[in-house]
Structure 1
Amino acid sequence: MTPLIDVIFLLLLFFMLSSTFSRFAEIELTQAAAGSGAGTAPADRVFLQLGPDRLVLNGASITLDDLLTQVETGQVLISLDADTSAQRLVDVLVPLRGRDGLTVTVLE
């Protein structure tokens, strides 16, 4: 009976040390839905195409730093390529988050 209790404590210790108790950060996304009309459209609307190694703003290739300086207010519509990773999307969304007067919509 004593060796069984030792094994149980060792397993408990192993699982407690190997698990993580931290919460992952969440980013709130809004998706464009068909038929949901908004009352007024923002004056400054830009279209951003996001790929694994490209970033195109209104048809012109830019870098992430240029995106942050060019987009201050208005609405950003983000279109994703099929092979774009979630990390790449997060890399673009995090700097845009929390800006006053800026809304970001991820298109399907």
Structure 2
Amino acid sequence: MSEDSFDLGPRRHPRKMSLTPMIDVVFLLLIFFMLSSRFGMDAVLPVAGGSEGSGSEWQGAPRLVDIAPDGILLNGVETPEGDLARALAALMPEEGAAVILRPRDGADLQRLVGVMDHLRAEGFNNMILVE
């Protein structure tokens, strides 16, 4: 047997691995995490609990705001959201007095937060949330 009988041609170099599939996977993971993450800031809503302090007595007229999906009731009377701050101001015994908010069946959280933001913009910062 001669050396020529075992000649298999020129020696081939091992094929280099392609990085394209790995880059594709990393790109897809990047897009997934970008779309599934939240970029907005979480808002903190300061709400007083019903049992703050040492049982202080309620002062002034009742200030119960019922938040329904289709309207707002102040002490049981339908009140437009634009007139709510003016109607509440007439009932306040002093500045900083509490306002009770009660979401009704069917009112979603966004509706409640919208009313709270409106009241806070009008200067009502002491809100108590009840069921």
TM bracket, shorter-chain basis: 0.7 to 0.9
> Between Structure 1 and Structure 2, which shows a larger proportion of strand residues?
1
Cα offset, 1:16, TM superposition: 5.2
Among 106, 109, 120, the alignment partner of 1:83 is: 106
- The percentage of counterpart residues that share the same residue type is 23
Among 20, 31, 35, the alignment partner of 1:14 is: 31
8 A contact 1:45–1:75 mirrored in 2: no
Mind listing any 5+ residue stretches in structure 2 that lack a counterpart? Answer: 1-16, 90-94
Match for 1:68: what amino acid? A
Q: 1:14 to 1:86 in 2, by over 3 A?
A: same
Indicate whether 1:56 and 2:73 are aligned. yes
CA distance in 1 between counterparts of 2:68 and 2:78 reads 11
Match for 1:15: what amino acid? F
8 A contact 2:62–2:75 mirrored in 1: no
- TM-score (norm. length: structure 2): 0.64
- TM-score (norm. length: structure 1): 0.75
Indicate whether 1:26 and 2:44 are aligned. yes
Mind listing any 5+ residue stretches in structure 1 that lack a counterpart? Answer: none
